[in-house]
Amino acid sequence: MSGAPQPAIILVRPQLGENIGKAARAMLNFGLTDLRLVSPRDGWPNPSAGPAASGADVVLERARVFESVAEAAADCAHVYATTVRKRGVTKPVITPEIAARAIHSETGGSAILFGPERSGLETDDVAVARTIITVPINPAFGSLNLAQAVILVAYEWSKHEALASPPITDLGAPASQEELDGMIAQLDAMLVDAGYFFPPDRTPVVRRTLRTLLTKPGWNAQEVRTVRGVLSALTKDRPRGQARESKASSS
């Protein structure tokens, strides 16, 4: 895990409690818990935030409220502003991926600013930041909601952290060549009894095709045993050659 402290997520003048809750949920999905609110429109705490957070209560409980962006980011050495619009401020513009790498390599705290839902960050808000984060997005439709913007940045940050991955399914020990050959030989004998290989001159090609097919999936030992059990069940109490005899009698 990186030794860098996690970045603070600063929501500047957020409008709806539901969106604050959804942003908190996005944060906790990727291990972020430092939520700071600048002048939330409907005040704080907001009863609508909890249900929208879907269990990310720890983020909401720790959330701090500030009157200005400068106060919210006062303890951070690196401040990033997320915006897709051009502003009257000249600053470096980077992607969330590059920002995540920078945050992990920087000393001192970092903060990421997100603007209000309707209008985004104002020019004065962006002026506080040192770097702008812009998400590569469809130029014909550049509308992201607040939680979406937070989750994109949080995900990139989390890629450098030792978060839990989905459990790896135990695929079982791979079948040995002997086990595969046994299964193929068993099926081959059944197909011979059933008169499958016809005409005779095509038999080598058909057998090669079947072998190729049956060795493609990468069977494990249990799967081979299961298939062989199925084949055995299909031929149980059935004398060898019975299928061919039935076929001959019907002709």
What per-residue confidence (pLDDT) applies to 96?
94
What per-residue confidence (pLDDT) applies to 238?
59
**Residue 240 pLDDT level (bands cut at 50, 70, 90):** low
Q: Where in the chain is the domain with CATH 3.40.1280.10?
A: 8-158
pLDDT: is 180 or 60 the higher one? Answer: 60
In percent, the amount of the chain with pLDDT more than 90 equals: 55
Collapsing DSSP to helix, strand or coil, 76 comes out as: coil
- How does pLDDT run across 45-62, given as a tens digit for each residue? 999 999 999 999 999 999
Mean pLDDT of all residues in 117-130:
89
What per-residue confidence (pLDDT) applies to 86?
53
> In terms of Cα–Cα distance, which of 113, 155, 126 is closest to 26?
155
The answer as to CATH 3.30.70.260 being correct for domain 8-158 is no
> In terms of Cα–Cα distance, which of 195, 190, 197, 191 is closest to 233?
190
pLDDT of residue 169 exceeding 70: no
What per-residue confidence (pLDDT) applies to 27?
96
d(CA 13, CA 159): 28
What per-residue confidence (pLDDT) applies to 247?
43
What per-residue confidence (pLDDT) applies to 220?
85
E-only strand ranges, 89-213: 93-94, 110-114, 131-133
**Residue 222 pLDDT level (bands cut at 50, 70, 90):** confident
What per-residue confidence (pLDDT) applies to 139?
77
What per-residue confidence (pLDDT) applies to 219?
84
Q: What is the pTM of this model?
A: 0.68
Residue carrying the six token digits 């298939």: 227
d(CA 247, CA 202): 20
What per-residue confidence (pLDDT) applies to 168?
64
What per-residue confidence (pLDDT) applies to 102?
92
Is residue 7 within 8 A of residue 72, CB to CB? The reply is no
**Residue 115 carries which side chain, given as an amino acid letter?**
G
Query: Average pLDDT, whole number, for the chain?
Result: 86
Collapsing DSSP to helix, strand or coil, 79 comes out as: strand
What per-residue confidence (pLDDT) applies to 148?
93
- How does pLDDT run across 19-48, given as a tens digit for each residue? 999 999 999 999 999 999 999 999 999 999
> In terms of Cα–Cα distance, which of 214, 31, 216, 9 is closest to 109?
9
